[in-house]
Every structure is written in C-alpha cells, then in structure tokens.
Chain A
Amino acid sequence: MELMHYLTLSAILFSIGFFGILTRRNAIAILMSLELMFNAVNINLVAFNRFINPGEYVGQIFAIFVVVVAAAEATVGLAIIILIYRNWRSIDADRVNLLKW
C-alpha cells in the first residue's frame, strides 16, 4: 500500500460525499454525505501522517479533532432535522423551500 492508494480512496470518498449533498433529497442522506466528506479528510490526514512524517502525530491529532467536530455537527444537524420534521412532517429537502428570491 502506498500513499497514493490512500489519497485516491480519500478523493473518491470526498467526491461521493459531495455528489450526495448535491443530489440527495432526504435530509438524513445529506447528513450522511457530509460525514463521508469529513471521513475522506481523515483518511487524508492519517495517511499523510503515516507516510510524510511518521515520527510526529500532528496529522492524527488533527483527525481526532475532525472526528469530534463532525460528531458535534451531526448532533446539531439531527436536531435541526427533527425540527424540520415537526414543522413539515417530512424531511425532504426539496419541500423545505419557503424562502426564495
């Protein structure tokens, strides 16, 4: 396994996540796509740490912070989705379109 393999995996995951955000209608699926993007970053960080400077832990520490932040974001995200469900009886992001120009 070389660095390039990890980076390719990460780039593919990131792209899938980004594609998911743009195309998914279900708010939960959008949240899952977001998690994919954050995890792609984590793979990047840990792989760089392992192959570029294995003596230090900066990349791994960064990854831990990203995990924590992603968890916080998912928590708030789920709370907001519950709020959306209570107001609309649906979590279809396309139906949530009160505000527009």
Chain B
Amino acid sequence: MENLELLVPELFLFVWALLVLMIDLFSSKRSAEVPAYFSMAGLVITGFLMVIFQHGGGALWNGIFVADHFAFFFKIIFLGAAFFAVGSSFGVVGRMSHHRGEYFSLLLLSTVGMMFLASAKELITLYIGLELTTIPLFVLAAYIKTSRSSAEAGLKYMIIGAASSAVLLYGLSIIYGLTGTTSIYQVTINLSIHWLAYGDVGPAFTVAMMMIIAGLVFKLAIVPFHMWAPDVYEGAPIPITAFLSVASKAAGVVAFARIFMGMFIAFSSNIMAPRDWGSIVALLAAITMVVGNITAIRQTNIKRLLAYSSIAQAGYIMVGVVAANTLGIASISFYLFAYLFANMGAFAIVAIFADRTGSEQISDYAGFAKSSPVLAAAFSVFLLSLAGIPPLAGFLAKYYVFAAAIQAGYTWLVILAVLTTVIALYYYANVIRLMYLTPDTNPHHIIPSFPAGMVVILTVAGVIVFGILPQSILELALNAATSFAF
C-alpha cells in the first residue's frame, strides 16, 4: 500500500471544492461572500498542507506522481493565482442571480487539476491534469449567461482547447507507440537507447514532437497559435481572464517543461541538430514577442491590451524555456512568480474599475489618478513591473530570463527581446500617462471592497518586496530547477 500522505493537499482542495458547493446550497445568505471567503480559506489551508506534506519531496506509484521542488514552486503560483482570482471575484459574482457557489467550486477544481499537472511525471497523468485544468475554465469563461461575449468566449475557448488537446494527444500517442511506455523517465531511456543503436530516432519522432509543441503552444497562446486568446480574455469575466492569463499559462509552461526538459532534453543540443526543438521554440518566442507587443499598441479595451501584453509575456517566458538549462528553469519559475503578482494585481484594478463604472475602455481611465490616487498608483506599479522597470519584480524576472538565454547562446533572441520591451513600455506608459496627465472628464472616486482592496495590497507588496528582496524566491526557483537533470 502506497503512502498517500503526499496527496493530502490535492485531495483536501478537491473535497473543499465540493464543500463550497454544499455551503452555497445550504447558506441562508444569498450572496457571493460566504462561498468566496470559504474558498479563500481553503486555498490558504492547502498552502499550509503543502508545506507540511510535500515540502520534503517524494514520489507515488513508481514516480507517476512526484512532489519535487519544481512542482512545489508552481503549486504555490497556482494557489496564489486562485486566491487573487477569488478575491477579485466578489463584484462580478455578486451581480449574478444564482450559481454563485459553482463559480468558486469550478475555480478550485481547476486549481486541483493544475496541482496534479505540476506533479505529473507520466503522460496519462499529465494529460488528465491538463484536461482537469481546462474543462472547468471552459465553463467559467462562459459564466455570465446573459452576456453574448461571454458565451462566445466560452465557445471559442472550448473548441480551441479541445482541438489543441487532441493534437497534443496524437503526439503523445505516437510517443507511446515509439517507446511502449508513458513514464516520462522511461520514454527518455528508450529513446536514448534507440538513438544510440540507430543514430536516429526516425521521422515519426519529429512528427510527434511537432504535434506536442503545437498542442502546448496553443494553450500558452504563442503566436501564431494565439488568435483565440484576446477574444476569450475579452469575453470572459475579468477574474477568470486574470486566472487564465496567469495560472493557465503557468500550467502550460509546467507541461512544456515536464515534457521537453524531462523527456527530450537528450535530443536538444547539437547532437541532433535537425531535431532541435530549441530553435523552433526560439523562433516562436521571437514572433510572439514582436506580434504580441506591436498588436497591443492599438488596443482600446483594457482587457484586450492586457491580453496582448500577456501573449508578449508568454514570449519572454519562452525565451527562458529555450535556454533549457538550470538557470533557464529557475528564471522562468521566478518570471511566473513575478508575473503572478503584477498581472493578478493589474486585473484586480481592472475588475474594481469595471465593477464601479461598467467600462473596460482605456480612454475611461483618463484622470483616474486625480479621483482615485491610490488605485492609480497601484495600477502604475503593476504596469511598470510588467514592463520590467527596476526595482520592481518584473525587472529582475526579465533580467534572469535574458541572462539564461545568453548563457545558452541565444544572444540574437535576447537582443530582440530587449527591443520589444521598449515597445511594451510605450503602451504601458500610455495608460499611465492617461491616468496622470489627462484631465478628469468623468470622475470616479472608487473605494474598493475589502477583499478586492486586500488583493491589491498583497499584489503591490509582492511586486515591490520581491523586486527589492528577491533572495528567498530566487533560492526556491533555483531549487526548483534542480528537479531536472541537465
């Protein structure tokens, strides 16, 4: 009998998600507050349970489910993103007439899927984790039933999500056919043996690798597989957009890292130049940074602006993935950690603003600094962190990603990345200029609700503290990178 203690955090959060449903059913107070606070408590408790049960590491069922430092680090990011998403959901869920508990329950279930995904070292588990993550998100994207754009976002996300996972699955099935196993560790060994024996792994392997890259890159919204992202991000409820842009993206990165760093690492470098996935991903990263940033400039809707900005951010993350060394993994881990605070914070402000004014237009932010100076200052901090301005966390994140890529020899990619950062600064600064330098045509003195205000305070603190004192997180990130054998 295996020792199931390792699974306690996941099982706890799963049971808690069902409890949230029950509580909503039986609570006499018909409001969003009861299930929301209950969900937040559950996420915090899960975090503590992880420190107790998974910090020491371990593996279950011959390494199908592993609790290494990498999984630990990313689970913290998932829990954090879910916590902030729940915290900024009070407004949007409060306006719904019913199905409030289901909203939070689905959010928690999606988080459980991500946690399984982070720990999966076997292809079936990895795939199930990925589906557990995305299927609740299809529902959440379409959650505002009376809104046409929300329904459209759900339809688009569902079709694209299912099609990309079918492509991914086809690639995984070929990998299974080539190696006769689904354990990532065993796949690496079998492929290496084959390669040593024949000096090649054959064209089927290339096809499988391409399909896996295409499937995962769809989930990450990397150009040219990004068309769905702005539409879905615009249509979905704002907290869900935030969750999609941070947690779902981090989940895609985890799957990418598990498969490519874990499985194909032996085939990455110069040994097998024609099958070098690194240069393919480098190319995708380059296109993504350029297209994402340039398209963001002409957006008029703040959610769409942040959507394109998050596409561009995924490009920077890919720069770290391309590096495929210890510093690369550590840098993308740190990047996503910094991105978690900045992006969740930015979306929290957008949610507060939309809750009060009902507007998502960038032009409506004119003079925001005069009427709500604190919120405007916080929004500026988030945007500057996303742009990578020191001393905020986003700057260090970009710095380490670029350093890792240079160490791996992708200097051209880093030069391009720095150039696109300048473009990014333009459209982030444009919003800040609008808030501070234009006259206030339509003053909104906004005082956020307690949970939304708490989310803003926590994320601002995260962006600033981890920008100035990144030591502890960097150590955790470097630890996470040791989970992979380079």
Give me the interface of A with B, judged by CB distance under 8 Å: 7, 14, 17-18, 21, 27, 30, 34, 37-38, 40-41, 44-45, 48, 52-53, 56, 58-59, 61-62, 65-66, 69, 72-73, 76-77, 79-81, 83-84, 86-88, 93, 96-101
Contacts and interface: CB of A to CB of B under 8 A. Distances in A.
Interface in B95-148: 123-124, 127-128, 131, 135, 138-139, 142, 145-146, 148
B155 interface: yes
Contacts of B166: 14, 17, 34, 37-38, 40-41
A4 B36 CA distance: 53
Interface of B: 123-124, 127-128, 131, 135, 138-139, 142, 145-146, 148-149, 151-156, 158-159, 162-163, 165-167, 169-170, 173-174, 176-177, 180-182, 230-231, 234-235, 295, 299, 304
B159 A83 contact: no
B176 A45 contact: yes
Given A41-B166, A65-B127, A77-B162, 19 more contacts: A14-B166, A30-B159, A38-B166, A40-B170, A44-B174, A44-B177, A45-B173, A48-B180, A58-B180, A61-B124, A62-B123, A72-B135, A73-B131, A73-B162, A80-B142, A80-B151, A84-B151, A84-B155, A88-B148
A48 B173 contact: yes
Contacts of A40: 166, 170
Contact of B148 (A30, A44, A87): A87
Contacts of B176: 45, 48, 58-59, 62
A27 B138 CA distance: 15
Given A37-B166, A38-B166, A65-B128, A44 B155 contact: no
B152 A84 contact: yes
19 contacts: A17-B166, A18-B163, A37-B163, A40-B170, A41-B166, A48-B173, A58-B180, A62-B124, A65-B124, A77-B158, A77-B159, A77-B162, A80-B151, A83-B142, A83-B151, A87-B146, A96-B151, A98-B149, A100-B231
A8 B159 CA distance: 25
B135 A73 contact: yes
Nearest to A96: B152
Contacts of A41: 166, 169-170, 173
B169 A83 contact: no
A99 B169 contact: no
Q: Which of B123, B158, B167 is packed against the most chain A CB atoms within 10 Å?
A: B158
A96 to B, nearest CB: 5
Contacts of B142: 80, 83
B169 A80 contact: no
A7 B169 CA distance: 14
Contacts of B234: 99
